[in-house]
Chain A
Amino acid sequence: MKTLPLPSGLLRTLAGQALAFVIALALGAVIILMIDESPVAVFMTLMRGAFGDAEKIAGTLLQTTPILICGIAACIGLRGGMFNVGIEGQLFLGGFAAAWVGFAFSLPPVLHVLVAMLLAVVAGAAWVAIPAFFRVRFGTNEVVSTILANYIATLLTSYFTIFLFKRPGGWSETPPILESAYLPELFSFSRLNIGLLIGIALAIATALFFRWTAKGYAVTMVGSAPKFAEYGGINVRKVGFGVLLVSGAVGGLAGGVETLGVHHRFMEGFAPGFGFDGVIAALLANGSPIGTIFTALFFGALRAGSLLLEVDTTASREIITVIQALIILAVSADLLMRRRGDRTGERRWKF
């Protein structure tokens, strides 16, 4: 086999992903058959649920938004060689912080949103600061420390919500935020709000940052060749710390967008799993922010489609989780990639 020049290499990658996709769907179909449903009906319902009409499309985009923003947070970390799996926790804290500003203060409309967002961002960054510090200073594995921090974040925000700021007489949630802190909605028929635009703008800005700025160059180099970067005069620790902080900040922003744009309050079990979905969307997009737009859209469509699935068929919504996992597994195997000659394998993940 000869090495193929770049374009056809890309083609092969795409073909490989398509093949992976087909295999995953086939496996999914088998499982759907096993639970006594028609795969065709299930897939059609999914499509209708995701893209059936304008409202459905808006619903898909609504689901896409948090996954996208969390995905960008993950991308930022991945580019700098940092694996932030704690986006879930940053999302929760950011969400809570934004809600707090939203209900506890009364500010003029635009300013209110900005202050709430700012605090969400700060909360997200602050939550990752300690794991980040230990990562760059002592090499503490950030995957594990951020996962553990997730549990604490969830419990902590529950504590705040229920013990300190519970809405009197209500379910375990904070009082609603003031209308001055609402993110503007895009359409009358959906909760879809400018959070989506923020996400897309952020994705584009992140991509541009990495491609066209000196700082972005430094981050990329630290991520892909840390010793080279160090040699070249880049402060690897500072960059690594900064990357995690910004990643955490974007995670917090995702929480803020959910709070101010959709729920207009913080509640227990606020947005479970979006952080992980974002991480996986970013991984599937191989750390590319633009690619993450598409993987997040794909996940969003699956989720939105699954809502109709539950209503229109007897299949459980969890079947979507299964299909999603199968797709991730199949795509991760990179089926058409040629295996390298060395058999020793990689010790740590690489991007």
Chain B
Amino acid sequence: MDLAVDLQGITKRFGAFTANSGIDLAVRRGEIHAIIGENGAGKTTLMNILFGLLQPDEGRIALNGKAMVIDSPAVAIAEGLGMVHQHFKLVPSLTVADNIFLGMEIRRNGLIDRAAQIERTRVLSQKFGLRVDPSERVAGLSVGIEQRIEILKVLARDARTIILDEPTAVLTPQESRDLFATLRSFVDDGMTVIFISHHLEEVMEVSDTVTVLRDGKVVATRPKTSLSKRELVRLMVGRDVSFDRRPRGPVDGKAALEIADLWARDDRRLPMLKSASLTVRSGEILGIAGVAGNGQTELAEVLSGLRPPSHGSVRLHGQEVLGLAPAQIRARGLAHVPGDRMVRGVDRNASLSANMLMGRQDKAPFSHRGILSWATAHAEMRALIKRFDIRARGPKDPARSLSGGNIQKVVLAREFTAGGDVLLIDQPTRGVDIGAQEAIHDEIMRQRDQGRAILLISTQLDELAALADRILVMFDGRIMGEVDGEAMDEEAIGLMMAGVDPATPVDPSTGIDPIGAAAAPAFPRPPASEEVR
């Protein structure tokens, strides 16, 4: 057999945690080989080992039939391997051409020959149909273009085997389709593609062979044709799962959270939230769908007081809260599960109790006249560990010793018990295993049934389909339209996520553009926020 990549018995441990355990992977030349698995299954780790960014503790690697020790990406690159990383690795202050030729600069008389690099980039770009402006700086380019640059970077190194780690997570469905066409053309040219995803549809659409990872082990490697979607899910998760819609009663509460004509800028000071208006009622789950980086983060941050708004109004139970400090907004009844849990949600080095204490360090029974009662905090944390089924040894464990999913549960536990009756939940199950996902969904439904108003931001449509009463779709900082949760039309949502207007946009009525967004250049989306720092 003609193998481009042959991994045998790869094992990688991070401390006591085994991320890859005895993995065998054989990738034939000229195929698209998908690797799928849950978050944390070990996909990125495996690819980093293959690419020389990590060293395996055990196992053997052979490329193109040659046994190799890949102790640096340089070795992998020399052997014709290229990798497009899950988190892009471009240097913002450099131009597109500089980025592409970084590490293999074209030089004349010892100096970098910029003109030649730009020319070569242009040629490459044309040859592969990946359009970029070679002399533009990368800072400020959209994610889609950044991805093109990453692919060009790989191609410029004459890669014959390309690894793409979750390339579609930040793309719209349409952009994804373009990418797949490009990948196909690569394979037609005799190249090999390894493609990581946990989106079943994509895998079924483009791959020739599928390898499924679970808990750091290979559970199956099969030709796609022999697989059904249902089987794939079972392999990934280890049992049948259905994101069936949760049963629910009617919504009849009063308006708890009202947002009107809200505008805000992102970190680059570009308008990123444009005239958003919405209302969430008590006992209702309002879902926000959209590709990551379309203003959802900004919306959540403005609501919780973490980002200065430019304009608009936010009312909690009829009271204006826009512009108040986070603590004041919390005091008025908003609880917030942040999307970026490692940075915003916890202090990784603090104990679980200390993490639970955040926001209530001034309140009884945890503190009396400013003196903390750690005993109470530990007791409370112990109770939460039980109630939310958090896998931890005890309340004094540092947060960093927990897995991502369990850290998420700590955050949820804290926020759900914080006493707020409006819950702002951003990506509740990102990086959470399936079992825990169900538990979290149960908990969210329980909160709804208790009459809380819930604003649920998620990039996973099936999650929204299972939970939301209504779904709004965001694109480019605007709310594109609304879909009823009962009869969710995925096609319509997909179009709106890609910026296609279903009918008329929601509220351009006033015609006012208070922050000059219209005048601003078509501005790019920031890359998806990095989850682990």
Question: Given the interface contacts A213-B372, A341-B54, does A228 sit within 8 Å of B361 by beta carbon?
Answer: no
Stretch at the interface among A55-63, A111-119, A229-237, A281-289: A229-237
Closest to A208 in B: B371
Closest to B363 in A: A214
- CB of A231 within 8 A of CB of B327, answer no
Tell me whether A137 is interfacial, beta carbon within 8 Å: no
Tell me whether B326 is interfacial, beta carbon within 8 Å: yes
- CB of B346 within 8 A of CB of A228, answer yes
Stretch at the interface among A10-18, A153-161, A215-223: A215-223
Which residues of chain B are within 8 angstroms of A225 by Cβ–Cβ distance? 343, 346-350
Tell me whether B370 is interfacial, beta carbon within 8 Å: yes
Closest to A235 in B: B325
Q: How far is the CB of B341 from chain A (nearest CB, A)?
A: 10
Tell me whether A190 is interfacial, beta carbon within 8 Å: no
Q: How far is the CB of B197 from chain A (nearest CB, A)?
A: 25
Which residues of chain B are within 8 angstroms of A2 by Cβ–Cβ distance? 15-16
Complex CA distance for A225 and B357, rounded to whole angstroms = 14
Question: Given the interface contacts A3-B16, A228-B358, A235-B327, does A221 sit within 8 Å of B347 by beta carbon?
Answer: yes
Most buried by A among B306, B358, B362, B372: B358
Closest to B327 in A: A233
Question: Given the interface contacts A221-B358, A228-B358, A233-B359, does A214 sit within 8 Å of B370 by beta carbon?
Answer: yes
Complex CA distance for A220 and B371, rounded to whole angstroms = 15
- CB of A233 within 8 A of CB of B345, answer no
- CB of B359 within 8 A of CB of A232, answer yes
Tell me whether B304 is interfacial, beta carbon within 8 Å: yes
Tell me whether B354 is interfacial, beta carbon within 8 Å: yes
- CB of A224 within 8 A of CB of B327, answer no
CB < 8 Å neighbour of A3 from B15, B361, B372: B15
Complex CA distance for A210 and B326, rounded to whole angstroms = 23
A 190-228 to B, binary, CB cutoff 8 A, 1 in contact else 0: 000000000000000000000111111110110011011
Complex CA distance for A224 and B372, rounded to whole angstroms = 19
- CB of A341 within 8 A of CB of B14, answer yes
Q: How far is the CB of A339 from chain B (nearest CB, A)?
A: 13
Q: How far is the CB of A80 from chain B (nearest CB, A)?
A: 14
Which residues of chain A are within 8 angstroms of B343 by Cβ–Cβ distance? 225, 227-228
Which residues of chain B are within 8 angstroms of A214 by Cβ–Cβ distance? 361-362, 367, 370-372
Most buried by B among A211, A212, A227, A231: A231
CB < 8 Å neighbour of A231 from B338, B350, B361: B338
- CB of B326 within 8 A of CB of A232, answer yes
Which residues of chain A are within 8 angstroms of B358 by Cβ–Cβ distance? 221, 228-229, 231-233
Q: Range of interface residues on chain A?
A: 20 to 34
CB < 8 Å neighbour of A218 from B325, B326, B350, B361: B361
Q: How far is the CB of B359 from chain A (nearest CB, A)?
A: 5
Tell me whether B214 is interfacial, beta carbon within 8 Å: no
Q: How far is the CB of A6 from chain B (nearest CB, A)?
A: 9
Complex CA distance for A342 and B344, rounded to whole angstroms = 22
- CB of B325 within 8 A of CB of A231, answer no
Question: Given the interface contacts A232-B359, A233-B330, does A224 sit within 8 Å of B350 by beta carbon?
Answer: yes
Complex CA distance for A3 and B330, rounded to whole angstroms = 39
Q: How far is the CB of B306 from chain A (nearest CB, A)?
A: 6
Complex CA distance for A264 and B410, rounded to whole angstroms = 56
Which residues of chain A are within 8 angstroms of B14 by Cβ–Cβ distance? 341
Closest to A238 in B: B325
Q: How far is the CB of B415 from chain A (nearest CB, A)?
A: 10
Of residues 92 through 151 on chain B, the ones whose CB sits less than 8 Å from some CB of chain A are: none
Tell me whether B336 is interfacial, beta carbon within 8 Å: yes
Closest to B53 in A: A343
Complex CA distance for A213 and B366, rounded to whole angstroms = 10
CB < 8 Å neighbour of B370 from A3, A215, A232, A341: A215
Which residues of chain A are within 8 angstroms of B345 by Cβ–Cβ distance? 228, 231
- CB of B304 within 8 A of CB of A231, answer yes
Complex CA distance for A216 and B54, rounded to whole angstroms = 40
- CB of B326 within 8 A of CB of A228, answer no
Q: How far is the CB of B333 from chain A (nearest CB, A)?
A: 13
Of residues 310 through 359 on chain B, the ones whose CB sits less than 8 Å from some CB of chain A are: 325-327, 330, 336, 338, 343-350, 354, 357-359
Which residues of chain B are within 8 angstroms of A212 by Cβ–Cβ distance? 371-372, 374
Complex CA distance for A224 and B346, rounded to whole angstroms = 10
Which residues of chain B are within 8 angstroms of A229 by Cβ–Cβ distance? 358
Q: How far is the CB of B336 from chain A (nearest CB, A)?
A: 7
- CB of B306 within 8 A of CB of A230, answer yes
Q: How far is the CB of B325 from chain A (nearest CB, A)?
A: 7
Q: How far is the CB of B487 from chain A (nearest CB, A)?
A: 36
Closest to A3 in B: B15
Q: How far is the CB of B24 from chain A (nearest CB, A)?
A: 23
- CB of B359 within 8 A of CB of A224, answer no
CB < 8 Å neighbour of B357 from A211, A215, A217: A217
Which residues of chain A are within 8 angstroms of B330 by Cβ–Cβ distance? 233
- CB of A231 within 8 A of CB of B326, answer yes
Closest to B344 in A: A231
Q: How far is the CB of B55 from chain A (nearest CB, A)?
A: 9
- CB of B354 within 8 A of CB of A217, answer yes
- CB of A217 within 8 A of CB of B372, answer yes
Closest to B347 in A: A225
Which residues of chain A are within 8 angstroms of B370 by Cβ–Cβ distance? 213-215
Complex CA distance for A213 and B16, rounded to whole angstroms = 34
- CB of B326 within 8 A of CB of A230, answer yes
Q: How far is the CB of B49 from chain A (nearest CB, A)?
A: 11
Q: How far is the CB of A146 from chain B (nearest CB, A)?
A: 26
Of residues 54 through 113 on chain A, the ones whose CB sits less than 8 Å from some CB of chain B are: none
Which residues of chain A are within 8 angstroms of B361 by Cβ–Cβ distance? 214, 217-218
Closest to A343 in B: B53
Which residues of chain B are within 8 angstroms of A218 by Cβ–Cβ distance? 361
Complex CA distance for A60 and B326, rounded to whole angstroms = 49
Which residues of chain A are within 8 angstroms of B325 by Cβ–Cβ distance? 233, 235
Complex CA distance for A50 and B359, rounded to whole angstroms = 48
Which residues of chain A are within 8 angstroms of B362 by Cβ–Cβ distance? 214
Question: Given the interface contacts A232-B326, A233-B330, A341-B54, does A213 sit within 8 Å of B347 by beta carbon?
Answer: no
- CB of A228 within 8 A of CB of B54, answer no
Closest to A212 in B: B372
Which residues of chain A are within 8 angstroms of B304 by Cβ–Cβ distance? 231
Q: How far is the CB of B360 from chain A (nearest CB, A)?
A: 9
Complex CA distance for A212 and B370, rounded to whole angstroms = 9
Complex CA distance for A216 and B343, rounded to whole angstroms = 21
Closest to B401 in A: A3
Q: How far is the CB of A64 from chain B (nearest CB, A)?
A: 30
Complex CA distance for A41 and B156, rounded to whole angstroms = 67
Which residues of chain A are within 8 angstroms of B344 by Cβ–Cβ distance? 227-228, 231
CB < 8 Å neighbour of B336 from A217, A231, A235, A341: A231
Complex CA distance for A229 and B359, rounded to whole angstroms = 9
Complex CA distance for A258 and B338, rounded to whole angstroms = 49
The 7 sampled A-B contact pairs (Cβ below 8 Å) are: A214-B367, A217-B357, A227-B343, A228-B347, A228-B358, A231-B304, A232-B359
Chain B interface (Cβ < 8 Å from any Cβ of A): 14-16, 54, 304, 306, 325-327, 330, 336, 338, 343-350, 354, 357-359, 361-362, 367, 370-372, 374
Task: Enumerate the 3 nearest inter-chain pairs by beta-carbon distance, A residue then B residue, closest first.
Answer: A233-B327, A225-B347, A232-B358
Beyond A3-B15, A230-B326, 11 additional contacts (C-beta under 8 Å) are A3-B16, A213-B372, A214-B372, A217-B361, A218-B361, A221-B354, A224-B350, A228-B343, A231-B338, A231-B344, A341-B14
